[in-house]
Structures are given as structure tokens and as C-alpha cells.
Chains A and B, each alone.
Chain A
Amino acid sequence: GAVVSQHPSRVICKSGTSVKIECRSLDFQATTMFWYRQFPKKSLMLMATSNEGSKATYEQGVEKDKFLINHASLTLSTLTVTSAHPEDSSFYICSASMGTSSYEQYFGPGTRLTVT
């Protein structure tokens, strides 16, 4: 149980285009979903936290207008990287938590974004 999928696993796009990444909880309802980013040889860094039906909370230094997060249902959250630039190339990974009191997070397999 507690499986999270993420799509696509890998995407290459041109500079200036937008890319949407989907994160789905397959067998549970995710009250809260999280988006992380990992640069080479660095730790996973939390970008934002989203609760179903409400606006995402972004971490300091993460541009909310550039990284649009939608958590429209209890099983789906999307991250859209708008007007992507080469410096946005990174590994993006989502996680999901069930229940408002649970701190266990279940991760997707991640998305490798390359902006050319």
C-alpha cells in the first residue's frame, strides 16, 4: 500500500516553455502533498506543501509564480514549471501524506527535468 506515482519520469524541454509534472497517490487519499527538488550532490529540498483544495505554501526562495502547484483532488497534485530556463534543470520529486496528523510521507519516483 501507499503507492505514489509521478509522471513523466523524464522530460526535456526548450527554454521558455512550460512543463507539467503530475503526482498521484494510487491507493490512498493524500491530504497533503509535498514537492521537493534535488540538485546534483545536494539534499532533497522542500519547495512547497499543498493541501487539497487550498493554496500551496512555498518555502523561502521558491517563486510561486514560476512553480505553480495545484492540488485539486485528494489523489492528484501537479507542479507546473512555467517559462523554464536551464537553471531549472533538476530532479523534482513529490511525496504524499495521509491524514492531518500523519508525518509519514510516501514518495513518487521523481522526474528528471532538462531544459535546453
Chain B
Amino acid sequence: ILNVEQSPQSLHVQEGDSTNFTCSFPSSNFYALHWYRWETAKSPEALFVMTLNGDEKKKGRISATLNTKEGYSYLYIKGSQPEDSATYLCASFSGAGSYQLTFGKGTKLSVIP
């Protein structure tokens, strides 16, 4: 994998459903994986920064896992609410001393009331 890939590109879920989406990233020279939540007309909001293989982080109903050996991360949302509607971006940070984040295209989530 050369780029950061996210899937699906978009999805619609009913309120109350749980959902998850995937971020794939280059596993070589991996340093950190960032997840952002981006609502329309607002700033992307940092959700998680993950560095260790097997790491799992949780923030309310949202959680994320990380597999650095195979180069993927999952973001889970439990019991989706309309306010979860946003684009979820992941970004790979490679190499100590470099600040460059490489972004995926994002997964646009729409939660239907």
C-alpha cells in the first residue's frame, strides 16, 4: 500500500445502528495514525492519535483499533446518532522528525433519524 485508503467512501446508517469503517496505510516507516472527525463548515477535530500495534482507543461511543504490521485501522461507532454525521478522515504520520500527514479521502457518514 503506497497511499492512505479509506473505505467505504460514504455510508448511510439508521439512528441507533453501529457502524465501522477502515483506513489502510503503508506499514513501512510507520510512526502514528490519526483519526479526525470533520463536520461541514467546521475545523477537522482530532479524535485519536495511535502509535502502538494492537492499540485500542475509545472516546464515548467511538473507538478505534490499530494494526501496524498489516497497515490498517478500524473506527467503530456504537449506536450512531444524527450528530455523528460527518466525514471521518484518517492520516498516516511517517518518520520521526517529519511532520507530514498523509490523508485518506475520508468516509462520509450520514446518520438517518
- Which A positions have Cβ atoms within 8 angstroms of B? 4, 9, 32, 34, 36, 41-46, 49, 93, 97, 103-110
Contacts and interface: CB of A to CB of B under 8 A. Distances in A.
A49 B99 contact: yes
B10 to A, nearest CB: 11
Interface residues of B, number: 22
Given A103-B32, A107-B43, A109-B43, A41 B105 contact: yes
> Per DSSP, are chain B's interface residues mostly helix, strand or loop, or mixed?
strand
A46 B4 contact: no
A48 to B, nearest CB: 11
Contact of A109 (B42, B89, B100, B106): B42
Contact of A105 (B31, B42, B101, B105): B101
A34 B99 contact: yes
Interface of B: 4, 31-32, 34, 36, 41-44, 46, 49, 89, 91, 93, 99-106
23 contacts: A4-B43, A9-B41, A34-B101, A36-B103, A43-B102, A43-B103, A43-B104, A43-B106, A44-B89, A44-B91, A44-B103, A45-B103, A46-B101, A49-B100, A93-B44, A97-B99, A103-B31, A103-B49, A105-B99, A105-B101, A106-B46, A107-B36, A107-B43
B41 A109 contact: yes
A103 B43 contact: no
